[in-house]
A and B are shown apart, each in its own frame.
Chain A
Amino acid sequence: MSEPKLRIRGLNKSFRAGKIRTQALRDITIDLGQNEFVSLVGSSGCGKSTLLSIVAGLQDPDSGDMAIDGSPIEAPGLDRGVVFQSYTLLPWLTAQRNIEFALRAAGHAAPERRRIARDHLDLVQLGHCANLYPGELSGGMKQRVAIARALSYRPKMLLMDEPFGALDALTRQQMQELLTEIWDKHRLTVLFVTHDVEEAIYLSDRIVVMGIGPGRVTATFDVPIPRPRPVEVLESGMFLDLQRKVLRAIRESSKRLEPV
C-alpha cells in the first residue's frame, strides 16, 4: 500500500474550562490518499474545526500522530493551505496584494509575486478586481481571493473550514465547480469541512462522519459517483440514496456516548 498524503493516527484533544475537562476529539484516525477529496461532516460541536486546525498546526493535540508524506506535522507550514470560514483577507491590502503577501512569506521574489498573483486572480475569474480592497468585494469574491491565495504558493494540501457557508446558493454552486476544477487540475489533496451533506457528496471522493460527545469518527462513505459531475447528478437516485444514508449516520452519531 502506498504512503497516504495525510495520515492521522489516534488523535486526542480535550479542552479545559475551569475545572471541567471536555474531550473534543477521541481517537481520530483518518488517511487521505494522494489527490483525494475528503469531507468531514457531523453535527455542530463535534470537533470538525478543531480537527482541521490541529492538522493545520494551529492547535496542538494531547496525543496522536499526524504526518504528511510520512513526515510528522509539528507546526503550521506552507505545505498546507488553509481557507478559513471568515475569509481572512487583510483589509488594508488589495486583492492582488493579499495574494502577494502569501507569496512573499513563501519566499518568492517581487516580479514573480506579481505575476503569480495575477495568474491566480485570473484562475478564480477575478483578474478585473486586482486593485480592489476586500471591503469592496462581495462575500463570494472574497472567498475566491482567499482560495486563490491558498493555492498560489502551491501547498500539497488544502484545508477548508466551511468555506462556502456564508454564500448564496448560486454563488456556492459556482464556487463548488471552480474548486473541483482546481482540485483536478492541480492534483490537490483536500480536507473539507461542511455541514451541508449535499455539498459534501457533490465534491468528495469520501465522506467522514463525525459523532459528538466526544468527537469521533463514526462512519465513512465512499462516493462512487463518476467525475466530472454535472449538476444533474444532484437529482440522481444514487446521489439521493447516499445523501439519505449519510444523513442517517449523522443523526445516529449525534447522540452522545456517555458523559465524559
Chain B
Amino acid sequence: MTEVAAGERPAPARATPVLEARRRRGGSGIGRTISRASFVTVASLVFAGLGLAWWAATRFSLVQPIFLPSPASVGSRLLFLASDGTMATDLGASLYRIAIGFLIASALAIPIGVLIGTFTTWEAAIEPLVDFIRYMPVVAFVPLSILWMGTGDGQKFLIIFIGTFFQQVLMVMDNVKRVPADFIGLGRTLGLPDRKILTRIVVPCALPGIWDTLRISLGWAWTWLVLAELVAATSGLGYRITVSQRYFQTNTIIGYILLLGGLGLVTDQAMKAAEAVLFRYAKRGRS
C-alpha cells in the first residue's frame, strides 16, 4: 500500500511538462478552446477553400457551365436579380411565409410543450400522439395540403407548421423536464402554488433551452418552406428556383441556394447573439 503511494507520487511531476509542451504548441485537444480570432480564421479559410475549388473547377472547364456555372456568373446573376427587384419580391414572399408559419408553430408548441413537460396527465394525452405524427413524412403532406388549401400562403403555413410544430413540442417538453427537481422543491417549500412555480421557476429556468429549440427548428422551417414553394407557388425563393430549372438558369438556382444558406447562417448567428444578451447569466456558468 505504502509502496504504491510512494510510486505514484512522482507521476504528476512527470505529467506536467508534457501538458505544458502541449499548451505551448497551442494545439487543440478535448476541452481546450481556441481564441475567437483563430475560430473565425479557420471558418473563413474553409469557406475560401471551397470557393476556390469551385472557381478552379469552372475556370479549367472540369464541369460544363450548364451544370455548374462559374462564381462570377452566379454573382452577376444575383446582382442582376437584386437590381431589377426580383430578389426583393421573392425574399419578401418567403420571409412573410416563414415568419407567420414559424410564429404559429412556436406560439402553439411552447405552451403545449411546457404543459406536457410539467403535468403527466397532459403528457399521456399528447406526447404519444405527437410522437406518432412526428414520424409521418412531411413531404407526403404536400399533395394533401394542396387539396385542402390550394396553393396560397395558407398551404405554406400549413407545411411549415406540420414540419416544425411536432418536433418543437417534444423538444420544449424536454427543455422543461430538465428543470432540476430541487428547483421545484424550493418553490414548494416557499409555499408557492403550482401556477406560480410554473411561471416563476419552471418557465424562466427552461427559457434558454426553449430559445435554443426555436433556433434549431427555425432551420428546419426554412427547408419546409422551400419545399412547399418548389411544389406549388407563384412567388418566393423556391418558386424562382423551379422556374429557373425550366430555363436551365443554373446560375439563379445556385445563387438562390447560396442565398438561402446565407439567410440561415445570418438568422442563426443573430439568435445566438440574442441568446448571449438575453441569458447573460447562463454564459457565466451554471449554478
| Residues of A bordering B, CB below 8 Å | 53, 56-58, 75-78, 80-82, 84, 86-92, 101-102, 105-106, 133-137, 142, 153
Contact = CB atoms under 8 A, between A and B. Distances in A.
A172 to B, nearest CB: 19
Nearest to A80: B189
A237 to B, nearest CB: 30
Nearest to A94: B281
Given A77-B191, A105-B190, A105-B192, A136 B285 contact: yes
Size class of the B contact interface (CB-based, 8 Å): 20 to 34
6 tightest A-B contacts by CB? A134-B287, A135-B285, A135-B284, A105-B190, A133-B281, A76-B188
In the complex, which of the residues B185, B188, B283, B285 has the most CB atoms of chain A within 10 Å of its own CB atom?
B185
A179 to B, nearest CB: 18
B189 A82 contact: yes
B281 A84 contact: no
Given A136-B284, A136-B285, A88 B190 contact: no
A192 to B, nearest CB: 16
B110 to A, nearest CB: 17
B192 A142 contact: no
A84 B287 CA distance: 13
B56 interface: no
Nearest to A86: B182
Given A58-B189, A133-B280, 18 more contacts: A53-B185, A58-B185, A58-B188, A76-B185, A76-B188, A76-B190, A77-B189, A77-B191, A78-B189, A81-B189, A84-B185, A86-B182, A88-B183, A90-B205, A91-B205, A92-B205, A105-B191, A135-B282
A81 to B, nearest CB: 7
A113 B192 CA distance: 17
B190 A91 contact: no
Given A90-B204, A135-B284, A136-B285, A84 B182 contact: yes
A223 to B, nearest CB: 28
Contacts, number: 82
A57 B283 CA distance: 34
Interface string B169-204: 000000000001011011111111000100011001
B201 A90 contact: yes
Given A92-B204, A105-B190, A106-B190, A82 B185 contact: yes
B180 to A, nearest CB: 7
Given A77-B191, A105-B191, A105-B192, A91 B186 contact: no
